[in-house]
Structure 1
Amino acid sequence: MAFGWRCTGVGWPGEVPELRWSRGRDRRVSVLAYGGGLGFRVVGERHCVGARGNVCPLGAVVPARSTGARCAECARLDRAHSVAADTMVDDPRTYRVYLAWFGPGMVKVGITREEREAARLREQGAVAFSWLGRGPLMAARRTEEVLRAALGVPDRIPYARKRGVRGQLPGAEERFAEVAELYGRAVELEGRGWPESLERLPLEVVDHVGIFGLDRAPVAARAVSELVEGGVLAGRLVAAAGPDLHLAVDGEAVAGKRGGDGEGVDGGGGVVVLDTRLITGWELAAVGPGAGSEAGVPLIDIAGGGVQGGLF
């Protein structure tokens, strides 16, 4: 079964996002730039992206609204080798515990490999964060569990909630203060379930608003709910946070018929959020930022031009 290049999502290896692509075992990336044009037409069916760098042996078709883009077997294999599955107890690498802030009252505790630095925080769309400690995997995991229970914070925050508050973020001082307050509550727990092998790190709040472009981008009012064969989305990249790309589109960039469940495509322009987890597994053909469409891309309401560059 022959495929063209299929998107595997957005990566944040540094302070600039990049789209990643695969074709069989071949890999490539497209570095993204704010202000640059970005547009595509959906081609064919959506297929499983495989697991752990391996091609799906079945070439399975996956649902359009799935954010994982994996068939059941590949999803099981990917999960079995993840840190979250607690199957890597003998992992010798150093891990870091972090406190991540996504919006007012929206915080979480997590862990990541030290060698990845802050890539995990950018991938999650953390608006601000601070490191809390470093040490062996199981010590980091134990600290994470203790803090979740003691501080009453969740292990994950849905992306719909994150993007829902992104357009009404408080100022830098308030963001810093909320992370610092959480850090203070966390360090008070030293000696009460905090493993001795976990080294506490000093408070140092890192703010991603500038890196994400949220300090200069218009507020997004709509988001893509799924892709369909033949659908087109094209515009100018104005911001990005985690897997979300914020595209400024004109009245012709998103067009098509009304969708179900209160969804629709009206060609009204503005800023549209594309969760790139929805484009993984699709083959995408490049189009210009002013392209119209016949089938359209369904959008949902989340409110309260240039030349195509580097898509392939």
Structure 2
Amino acid sequence: MAQAWKCSGLRWVDGGPVLVWDGGRRSALAWGKRVSFGVVDGGVRTCVGARGHACPVRTGVSGRSTGARCEECARLDRAHSVAADTIADDPRPYRVYLAWFGPGMVKVGITAVERGSARLLEQGAVCFSWLGTGPLMAARRTEELLRAALRVPDRIPYAAKRAVRSGLPGTEGERAAEVVELHARAVALAEWPESLVREPCRPVDHVGAFGLAGLPGAVGEVSELVAGGAVRGELVAAAGPDLHIAVGDGDGDREGGKGVREIVVLDTRLMTGWELGPAGVGTGAGGVDESRLTFPLREFRGVSAVQDELF
């Protein structure tokens, strides 16, 4: 029986994507790298636990869940999260940021100064700028201020981010324009907390880091992993938790392993909780591996605006 592995998720290390496996092993990813794995036949996806502790009952979880946690473990994990707003006495300095994911998609968020830009890479922010630095509660108040005064959300669905990545503006200036305008309005607000130091607007562009320049349009996203399913293809880009994988060879259809070379998006959070092994499908004549996808695919059919206007 082939050895099975369990994925802990995608991390961004020194500005590059790395798949992390249970036990600490890491697989650095680079454009052009072959991606090839399958879910063990008869396998069941189980809860990944919380805060470094295994789920005591190894509860089964839905293949469509990006958290891969049972209800109890999800509650425990969120209870210790800064995002849950349950930690008020964290002494570390925090930064407030503005992140842009595509036209009309700007959000506000906070991250610990010590984490640098890792949070922005993890979220798939195409462009961002720091807005201010200070204590956690001041950063929280600023986040709330922008939501109330400028109608800026603190969340944008990943599905919306994915659907627009292939049609981004071509220059850094165009991609930064909404962040620059919103930054100016934000720092001018009279209710700005005194303990939060305003940061100058210095947009950082991640198109190069993500490999998005000239990226062909993706046809859809993997909706879930299933037992016995597999993917084999070429990694062409990665943004946040998403891998953009080219499958098909131009001579037939996707299901048969021969098809127009298409880009599909795989959210690596869907990989957690499964036992994974080498892809056991798509070996062509002479033992030549063919690109192939046998996981369910949700096709992109356009995306509605997340916010109608910035202000």
Give the TM-score normalised by the residue count of structure 1. Answer: 0.87
Q: Please name the residue that 2:139 is paired with.
A: 140
Distance in 1 separating the partners of 2:55 and 2:259: 36
Distance in 2 separating the partners of 1:122 and 1:6: 23
Q: Deviations over 1:207-236 (max 9, x none)?
A: 000100000332211211111001010100
2:248–2:291 contact (8 Å) kept in structure 1: no
1:35–1:236 contact (8 Å) kept in structure 2: yes
| 3-state DSSP of counterpart to 2:25 | strand
Pick one of 251, 254, 274 that aligns with 1:282.
Answer: 274
1:234–1:254 contact (8 Å) kept in structure 2: no
Distance in 2 separating the partners of 1:51 and 1:31: 25
Letter in 1 for 2:239: A
Q: Deviations over 1:88-117 (max 9, x none)?
A: 111111110000000011000000011110
Q: Please name the residue that 1:310 is paired with.
A: none
| Equivalence map 1:56-205=2 (5 Å) | 56-171=55-170, 172-189=172-189, 191-192=190-191, 194-205=192-203
Distance in 1 separating the partners of 2:74 and 2:131: 31
Q: Please name the residue that 1:38 is paired with.
A: 35
Letter in 1 for 2:89: D
Q: Please name the residue that 1:28 is paired with.
A: 25
| 3-state DSSP of counterpart to 1:221 | strand
Distance in 2 separating the partners of 1:202 and 1:286: 48
Distance in 2 separating the partners of 1:90 and 1:136: 9
| 3-state DSSP of counterpart to 1:12 | strand
Distance in 2 separating the partners of 1:244 and 1:266: 24
1:232–1:291 contact (8 Å) kept in structure 2: no
| 3-state DSSP of counterpart to 1:102 | strand
Letter in 2 for 1:276: T
- Superposed CA RMSD: 2.1
Distance in 1 separating the partners of 2:51 and 2:101: 28
Relative to structure 1, the CA distance from residue 266 to residue 88 in structure 2 (aligned partners, 3 Å threshold; closer, same or farther) is farther
2:180–2:203 contact (8 Å) kept in structure 1: yes
Distance in 1 separating the partners of 2:240 and 2:11: 8
Distance in 1 separating the partners of 2:91 and 2:178: 33
Letter in 2 for 1:174: E
1:235–1:253 contact (8 Å) kept in structure 2: no
52-61 vs 98-107, which deviates more? Answer: 52-61
1:272 aligns with 2:264: yes
Moved over 6 A (4+): none
Deviation at 1:285, TM superposition (A): 0.7
Structure 1 residue ranges without an equivalent (≥5): 257-264, 305-312
Letter in 1 for 2:39: V
Q: Please name the residue that 1:302 is paired with.
A: 300
Distance in 1 separating the partners of 2:45 and 2:258: 24
Q: Percent identity?
A: 63
Structure 2 residue ranges without an equivalent (≥5): 283-288, 303-311
Distance in 2 separating the partners of 1:106 and 1:165: 10
Q: Please name the residue that 1:19 is paired with.
A: 19
